[in-house]
């Protein structure tokens, strides 16, 4: 994961607050949580039939997933990260489809996938904490 890309993506979606002291590991956690939050909010917008807000929130979720994907170090670890890269691509496509079809079950699917990835990431020790 490229920490600077993660930082820029998080700041783009959530502003500069909380990022100045966060480790790269923590930034990725924050991005993933932000993606889950936007998906949940988009699901609420769907329930309210708020089409404009749904589109904005799904767009933000797509941006977060894209930021996570861009942060993958495929040049140095391409083989080991290829499946995760494909999963992020799949999530983005499904989010677009959820918006087009107004389908909250697709949002649930993407949220479950992102939760699985986040749980894996959360289980990895933060290298900054080992110092």
Q: What pLDDT digit, counting tens, does each position of 50-67 carry? A: 999 999 999 999 999 999
Question: Among the CATH numbers 3.40.190.10, 3.30.565.10, 3.40.470.10, 1.20.120.340, which is that of 3-10+24-121?
Answer: 1.20.120.340
Spatial distance between the Cα atoms of 36 and 59, rounded to a whole number of angstroms: 13
Interatomic CA distance for residues 41 and 32, integer angstroms: 14
Please report, for the chain, the start and end positions of each structural domain, with discontinuous segments joined by +: 3-10+24-121
Task: Report the C-alpha dihedral over residues 46, 48, 51, 56, rounded to 10 degrees.
Answer: -70
Nearest 5°: the CA angle 19, 23, 25 is 115
**Nearest to 110, CA basis, from 95, 122, 99:** 95
Separation between Cα atoms, residue 51 and residue 60, nearest integer Å: 14
Q: How confident is the model at residue 1 (pLDDT cuts 50, 70, 90)?
A: low
Distance of alpha carbon 33 from alpha carbon 14, whole angstroms = 11
Query: pLDDT per residue over 85-111, tens digit each?
Result: 999 999 999 999 999 999 999 999 999
Q: Compute the mean pLDDT over every residue in the chain, rounded to the nearest whole number.
A: 87
């Amino acid at each position: 994961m490229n920490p600077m890309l993660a930082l820029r993506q998080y700041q783009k979606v959530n502003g500069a607050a909380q990022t100045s002291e966060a480790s790269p590991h923590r930034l990725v956690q924050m991005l993933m949580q932000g993606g889950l939050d936007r998906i949940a909010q988009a699901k609420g917008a769907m329930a309210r039939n708020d089409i404009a807000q749904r589109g904005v929130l799904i767009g933000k979720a797509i941006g977060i997933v894209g930021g996570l994907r861009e942060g993958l170090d495929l040049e140095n670890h391409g083989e080991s990260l290829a499946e995760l890269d494909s999963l992020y691509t799949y999530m983005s496509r499904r989010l677009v489809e959820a918006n087009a079809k107004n389908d909250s079950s697709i949002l649930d699917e993407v949220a479950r996938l992102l939760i699985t990835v986040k749980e894996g990431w959360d289980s990895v020790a933060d290298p900054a904490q080992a110092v």
